Amino acid sequence: MEITNVSEYEAIAKQKLPKMVYDYYASGAEDQWTLKENQHAFSRILFRPRILIDVSKIDLRTTVLGFNISMPIMIAPTAMQKMAHPEGEYATARAAAAADTIMTLSSWATSSVEEVASTGPGIRFFQLYVYKDRSVVTQLVRRAERAGFKAIVLTVDTPRLGRREADIKNRFVLPPNLTLKNFEDLDLGKMDKTNDSGLASYVAGQIDRSLSWKDVKWLQTITKLPILVKGVITAEDARLAVQYGAAGIVVSNHGARQLDYVPATIMALEEVVKAAQGRIPVFLDGGVRRGTDVFKALALGASGVFIGRPVVFSLAADGEAGVRKVLQMLHDEFELTMALSGCCSLKEITRDHIVTEWDRPR
């Protein structure tokens, strides 16, 4: 049957994938309240479309950290994509390049930075988890630089792994034919089977819980690449991100996989945007499944959005073609939303094009 929207890929992925893998991709933390909320909160924002505006030409192009891309829709880092499809991160990289947008590669990819670079040209960011052993981090950042990655996306919401109960029940572990490819040569590419989520045990063993703002400064001493801080959801932390030299902020709750009962990212966005005072761009991820969601995020001040699960689910369903289709559908839906709201370019999208449930009556 023909696929007509991004969400339809989830059911296909669920059918195709082993339960352990599907559960890992789909799950959120604990009660999964935030997981539902990430998507649901978009429905509390309605449009105030403007009419009788010439929308015969619509321009979706934008610039992110100086890179010109086809649309403000990019790919979030999601780990271990070869569990979804044998081509894994290669397929995602090719689909992103074909769509002329940015892919973020996870530290925990099942393909290395060099392998992903070998797929050809494309603008790519590298997501960084900070290991206790800082020489591991230094080496990895150098390799990402050499492989042509254009920014570091520093994930700051994971000093420990959130409790994803399905992964605990399934004793989730990376399948034996795969490795966390970036760490293979460092002997950190495997995950042991434990009486817990194997990933949670891996994180407890390797990831630096003491990570703090001073390390954002440290990172700036080992790389010239711009650093996006991913996982900010408060005004306080947005101000600190600006103060500590971040090149941008990603408003993210890690796809609701870390702390449960944090607000949907779309509800936290505006306070972060206000606190950043236009000094650095603010992006959003979490629950984006429609072009209308993209528009709402931009109306609330985001410079762009990233998508996570839609990529792994479409990858599982149909490999590179699936990811291409997801990007195309979101592009087309977003373009249509702009036309029907009376916006010809991204800068014409304003706060007045939407009304949120939490706005005072006008």
List residues with catalytic annotation. Answer: 254
Among 155, 170, 182, 303, binds ligand FNR (CB under 6 A): 155
181 binds ligand FNR per the rule CB under 6 A: no
Residue 10 has a CB neighbour count (10 Å cut-off) of 20
Q: Which residues, 6 or more positions from 227, have their beta carbon under 8 angstroms from its beta carbon?
A: 151, 152, 153, 154, 216, 219, 220, 245, 246, 247
106 binds ligand FNR per the rule CB under 6 A: yes
101 binds ligand FNR per the rule CB under 6 A: no
122 binds ligand FNR per the rule CB under 6 A: no
φ/ψ (deg, to 5) at 86: -55, -30
Cβ of residue 52: shortest distance to ligand FNR, in angstroms? 35
Residue with tokens 């559908």: 329
Among 71, 74, 76, 103, binds ligand FNR (CB under 6 A): 76
Distance, CA of 265 to CA of 279 (rounded, Å): 20
322 binds ligand FNR per the rule CB under 6 A: no
| Bridge partners for 46 per DSSP | 355
Q: Closer to ligand FNR at the Cβ: 293 or 320?
A: 293
79 binds ligand FNR per the rule CB under 6 A: yes
Cβ of residue 131: shortest distance to ligand FNR, in angstroms? 13
Site string for ligand FNR, 286-315 (x = CB under 6 A): xxx------------------xxx--x---
Total residues in contact with ligand FNR, by rule CB under 6 A: 23
Per CB under 6 A, which of residues 225..264 are in contact with ligand FNR? 230, 252, 254-255, 257
Sequential DSSP letters for 59-117? B--EEETTEEESSSEEEPP-S-GGGT-TTHHHHHHHHHHHTT--EEEPTT-SS-HHHHH
For the CA atoms of 111, 215, 27, 196, the dihedral, rounded to the nearest 10 degrees, stands at 90
Strands 67-69 and 73-75: unpaired
Contact residues toward ligand FNR (CB under 6 A) are 25, 38, 76-79, 106, 108, 127, 155, 230, 252, 254-255, 257, 285-288, 307-309, 312
